[in-house]
Structure 1
Amino acid sequence: MKVIIFGATGMVGRGVLRECLLDARVSGVLTVGRSATGLAHPKLREIVHTGLPDLAPIEAELAGYDACFFCLGVSSAGMSEKDYRHLTYDYAVAAGSTLARLNPGSAFVYVSGAGTDAGGRAMWSRVKGETENALLAMDLRAYMFRPGYIQPLYGVTSRTRLYRLGYVVTRPLYPVLRRMFPAAVTTTEQIGKAMIAVAAGGAPGRVLGPADINAL
């Protein structure tokens, strides 16, 4: 199985990349992002592309893949809806529509968020929900991952300073959170393994929360 990862330098993307490189079912990984991961591996190939959401210049490199793990995402804090929509909806839909044309029927796993709702009151929730709906309507085996609290493992860290500090504080509490709220927490390792499982064999539903992700 050959996979594409968008956003492999972020916290979730880096965790997903780690699992892909370790899993024997994944024969090749192509990362697409604004910067390189800094990793070297026989299965890994990277495209540094700063022109998102326009993928036309690199289209020829995206054909022939079985799955895409879309891990690009930004916090909506302090952002206008227009800017957040551009970085969230436009980027994901551009990737999805391009891959639906180049690799129809391939798996596309989109990292959304708990509380996503196209009809919701919160701006980020609406935009994420509209993004999910657009992807689910494409000629893809699209799956929406809605993780709650994500614990980074194996040296994976968030690129956002405030989040990094938060994870340092909550790391010792993760075992307690896992016992008390098993349906609301997951890890970067579990997300990566679940994405590979979904790409390889599907899932019972198209919208998957933390409990579903952990079960996979």
Structure 2
Amino acid sequence: MKIILTGTTGFVGTEVLLQCLASPSITSIIVLSRKQLPESLTNNPKVTVKILDDFLSYPDSLLQDLRGAEAVIWTLGIPGASDLDYYRRVNVGYTMAGVQAFTEHLIPYVKSGTPFRFLYCSGAATERDQERTLWLGSGVRKIRGQTESSLLAYQEIHPEVEIYILRPAMIVSPTWRILGLVFGVGLSIRVERLAGVMVDVAQFGTANGNGVEGRVLENSIMNVWGLNESS
């Protein structure tokens, strides 16, 4: 399987890349990034890094290199910003430009009967209702909600792409166990579990996994994903 990753210089994206490297069924990983990744992450023959200066525009030469990909895991974003216009550009503009380019230029090259999946990492506190009054983080939460709404609307008119929205709560590392005790599993998720869900869904969707219906995965669902596996 060939897969496209974004946001691999971040906390979540790095773990996603590591788990894609560990998956024997993922044979090619194309990383879209503004800068080169550490050699420790790219010295595997599975990995190809493509430098993309502007995530609003995809050159034909790049799109040709991406042909054959069957899934995208989109963790590109910034956790918060004082400049909401820039935050909207990154979260809404970049995401929608990506899914539109991939739908138009890559799906025709996916083998018949194979779905093309686009996974977007959102957040548990996201608010889609743009008119609702929020007392905390209103701008950031509503912008992420705008992205979710745009993706869901896009899915309605483009059923040829399977769009998944993952809504993690506080993401913690395996060593931050005390935070897990303080916040509980309902309000946090370990980064390796979140990444594992992403890689699993990218390969298999949700039809075969954990009785999930629909394509919006809340934190509570992800925390019990693959419960039969060791955590």
Q: What is the DSSP-based 3-state SS (H/G/I as helix, E as strand, rest coil) of the residue aligned with 2:4?
A: strand
Q: Which residue of 2 aligns with 1:124?
A: 140
C-alpha distance 153-18 of structure 1, shift in aligned 2 (>3 A): farther
User: How far, CA to CA, are the matches of 2:105 and 2:122 in structure 1?
Assistant: 23
Q: Which residue of 2 aligns with 1:44?
A: 47
Q: Which residue of 2 aligns with 1:166?
A: none
Shift in Å, 1:172: 4.8
Once the two structures are superposed, the pairs formed by residues 67-216 of structure 1 within 5 Å of their partners are 67-79=71-83, 81-104=84-107, 105-119=115-129, 120-121=132-133, 122-136=138-152, 137-138=154-155, 139=158, 140-153=161-174, 171-177=176-182, 181-203=184-206, 204=212, 205-216=214-225
**Which one has a bigger Cα radius of gyration?**
2
Q: One-letter code of the match for 1:118?
A: R
| RMSD over aligned Cα atoms | 1.8
- The question of whether the paired residues in 2 share the 8 Å contact of 1:67 and 1:108 is answered with yes
Q: One-letter code of the match for 2:31?
A: T
Scaled by the length of structure 1, the TM-score of the pair is 0.84
Q: What is the DSSP-based 3-state SS (H/G/I as helix, E as strand, rest coil) of the residue aligned with 1:113?
A: coil
Shift in Å, 1:102: 2.4
**Structure 2: 5+ residue runs without aligned partners?**
108-114, 207-211, 226-231
User: How far, CA to CA, are the matches of 2:3 and 2:55 in structure 1?
Assistant: 19
**Higher relative contact order (CA closer than 8 Å, sequence separation 6+):** 1
Shift in Å, 1:72: 0.6
Number of equivalences: 197
Shift in Å, 1:63: 1.9
Q: Which residue of 2 aligns with 1:158?
A: none
- What is the identity percentage for the equivalent residue pairs of Structure 1 and Structure 2? 26
Q: Which residue of 2 aligns with 1:159?
A: none
Scaled by the length of structure 2, the TM-score of the pair is 0.79
Per-residue CA shift, 1:50-108, capped at 9, x if unaligned? 122211352222221110000111133312x3221111100000111111112334111
